[in-house]
Structure 1
Amino acid sequence: MRRISLAGLVFLALGLLAPLAAAESKGSNTPETGDGIITLNRDVVVEGDIVRLGDIFSGLGEKSETAIARTPALGKKVPVGVRWLTAVAQKYALPWRANSRLDKAIIQRAVTIIPPQQIKARVEEALFDEGMQQNAMLEFDTPSVQLLLPREQGDGVAVTNLSFDATSGRFTAQVAAPAEGVPVAKATLRGRAIRVVDVPVLRRRIDAGEVIRTDDLDWISHRADRLMRNALMDSDSIVGKSARRPIGAGVVIKASELRTPQVITKNSLVTIRLETERMVLTAQGRALEAGTMGEAIQVMNTKSNSIISAEVVGRGTVRAALTNNVVIN
């Protein structure tokens, strides 16, 4: 059984289309050529449905308008090799010869590509008109859909049909291009509208124990359905707090990662205050544990070695409650 190469199949496929030119070339197998040298156009981009002789070869003069084949499908590139090129040259009596057996041309139709970003933007506009909330982002089931148009057909995309379920966020959109006139390319897109919220994040890495300031924060939009329950949503819950452990920039901050800054460190010397309406007694003590403002910590009186529980009221200062167990001296 005789084998047919890929190049042969291309030759046969395009050869079957040659009758397009028959009516134009009948009785004129040796049309006039231009005065210049005939050269091969290796990258052939054709506007319209018909490949003409002048698309393949340059320097033909009037015969360049001779139709020889139909253009490939949109987005397809058809390689034609020496056999096909030589057959075309001989058929139309062109004084052209290949430089080598590797000579070839790549034929494709001129297209306008409408990218996924443009299509998604148009669908988003249509969904907003349909009542979708502004604080939403779209998640497409097939995010890479694009439309191809013949270049001569114009551009633009229109949403021709749209259904939207506000409860689930699911939508189906039918799009067509060009935006005006008879549609040439169509596609159906499905997806989901997802609510997004603005959340505070750090502009820079914060080390453990470092206090967060207002200018350390930035804001980003984040999917609401992917936020953790203990995510902090406002700056008041963050500013003035210190990090329990290092926190990276740009990540959502969790409540468990922060604490009120320590104003007393473990084993530091502190002033113990005992206050009544008529007097204030003070004594020196040593903090047996770290403490934040308002927190009760264990303090040892350095003179009596007695241990009491006292409230942190300032940096280096604790306040003892007046009970029978308090020993100041």
Structure 2
Amino acid sequence: MRTLLLLLLLAAAPARAELATLRPFVVVDDAVLRLGDIFEGAGPRAAAVLGPAPAPGARLVVEAPQLLAIARSQGIGWRPVAGADRVVVERPGRAVASAEVVALLRAALRHQGLEEEAEVELQAFAPPMVPQAAFAQLAVEGAALDAATSRFAAVLVVAAEGTPTLRLRVTGRVVPTVPMLVAARRLALGEVVGTGDVRLVRVPASRLRPGAAQRADQVVGQAMRRPAGADQPLLLADLAQPVAVERGATVTMVYEAPGMQLTAQGRAMEAAARGAAVAVMNIASRQVVEAVVVAPGRVRVGAGR
């Protein structure tokens, strides 16, 4: 009789709760949060869905009272040891690249008069987050460009697996750009600029430095009057014809007249570039005359100037 009574009592008792421990820090990749994500040893109910996971790139904090309520409702044998018990849930994410958005906007605004070389600037743009490994599809809708103010607005649509489709309003402005030459490497004082020493960039018209070179033919073959660092704008005032005759150098003096050409050796009294006037002393006569530099180490004097 006692044995039968004990069996009846055991049958009427509630099932023993699963014993579990807390996971204080959790990283989830799924769109939902499951019981097994926050409790170690949740047993058969580990796959039970508790609710949506945080948005990609965001976190969720589950405090002790909520954890206790979840444990009780799911039959988990867990109680908080201290009021500070909590679970931090994070979901990895990656930001949509601003460059991708700009490329879509360029394509959409080109039909509304956007110049190919203009710069598209986003204003107050916070890149939306998508799941870390998800493929994101981007689209632009309703793009409109105001020609009078150069401002635009559009709706960015972001669709990615594991997250609801996002529709964000994006705004910005179109900035005209102009060409500008910069040094491709460090250029030393007196160095003659070659074609590979410069590169062309485009900058907003408002950022073009006064006197900056805008064409390669303005600088190639010129000598640096001041050194320039890599990516530094090249100013016309910092360029000059390279020195063709050094001060004190021996030069060939050429005198030309109809049907006659005479040459003599001279010494340059100063440095000069091609086409510049220079004082030259005839080594034989010691007479100083004015000449014009026509080539490295060669000057012209007399009627042929």
Superposition TM-score, scaled by structure 2 size: 0.74
> In the alignment, is residue 296 of structure 1 matched against residue 280 of structure 2?
no
How far, CA to CA, are the matches of 1:219 and 1:191 in structure 2?
26
- Counterpart secondary structure, 1:178: strand
**Which of 138, 141, 159 is equivalent to 1:178?**
159
Q: CA deviation at 1:317?
A: 2.4
CA contact (8 A) 1:148 1:185 kept: no
Partner deviation per Cα, 1:250-297 (whole Å, 9 max, x = no partner): 223222222221111123333333222243334443322221222222
Q: Which runs of 5+ in 1 are unaligned?
A: 1-28, 324-329
Give 1:96's aligned amino acid. Answer: W
Closer, same or farther: CA 95–222 of 1 in aligned 2, 3 Å:
same
> In the alignment, is residue 287 of structure 1 matched against residue 279 of structure 2?
no
How far, CA to CA, are the matches of 1:179 and 1:58 in structure 2?
30
Match of 2:10 in 1: none
How far, CA to CA, are the matches of 1:33 and 1:250 in structure 2?
69
Closer, same or farther: CA 31–255 of 1 in aligned 2, 3 Å:
farther
CA RMSD between the two structures: 3.9
Query: Which residues of 2 match residues 1-329 of structure 1 at below 5 A?
Result: 38-42=20-24, 43=26, 45=28, 47-48=31-32, 53-64=35-46, 76-98=58-80, 103-107=85-89, 114-143=96-125, 145-148=126-129, 155-166=136-147, 168-178=149-159, 184-197=165-178, 199-302=180-283, 304-322=285-303
Partner deviation per Cα, 1:173-228 (whole Å, 9 max, x = no partner): 22233389xx8533322222233455543332221222222333344444344223
- Counterpart secondary structure, 1:253: coil
Closer, same or farther: CA 124–99 of 1 in aligned 2, 3 Å:
farther
Q: Which runs of 5+ in 2 are unaligned?
A: 1-12
Partner deviation per Cα, 1:49-93 (whole Å, 9 max, x = no partner): xx5544432443454566666766776533234444234434544
Closer, same or farther: CA 198–72 of 1 in aligned 2, 3 Å:
same
Partner deviation per Cα, 1:146-173 (whole Å, 9 max, x = no partner): 235699x984333232211346532122
CA contact (8 A) 1:33 1:62 kept: no
Partner deviation per Cα, 1:25-71 (whole Å, 9 max, x = no partner): xxxx967867xx533333164625xx554443244345456666676
How far, CA to CA, are the matches of 1:69 and 1:31 in structure 2?
25
Q: CA deviation at 1:126?
A: 1.6
How far, CA to CA, are the matches of 1:238 and 1:198 in structure 2?
14
- Counterpart secondary structure, 2:212: coil
- Counterpart secondary structure, 1:89: helix
Closer, same or farther: CA 72–276 of 1 in aligned 2, 3 Å:
closer
CA contact (8 A) 2:194 2:220 kept: yes
Closer, same or farther: CA 296–105 of 1 in aligned 2, 3 Å:
same
CA contact (8 A) 1:149 1:185 kept: no
- Give the fraction of aligned pairs with identical amino acids, expressed as a percent: 31
CA contact (8 A) 1:147 1:186 kept: no
Superposition TM-score, scaled by structure 1 size: 0.69
- Counterpart secondary structure, 1:231: coil
- Counterpart secondary structure, 1:157: strand
Closer, same or farther: CA 171–253 of 1 in aligned 2, 3 Å:
same
How far, CA to CA, are the matches of 1:47 and 1:56 in structure 2?
15
How far, CA to CA, are the matches of 1:215 and 1:70 in structure 2?
57
Give 2:31's aligned amino acid. Answer: E
Give 1:141's aligned amino acid. Answer: Q
- Counterpart secondary structure, 2:172: strand
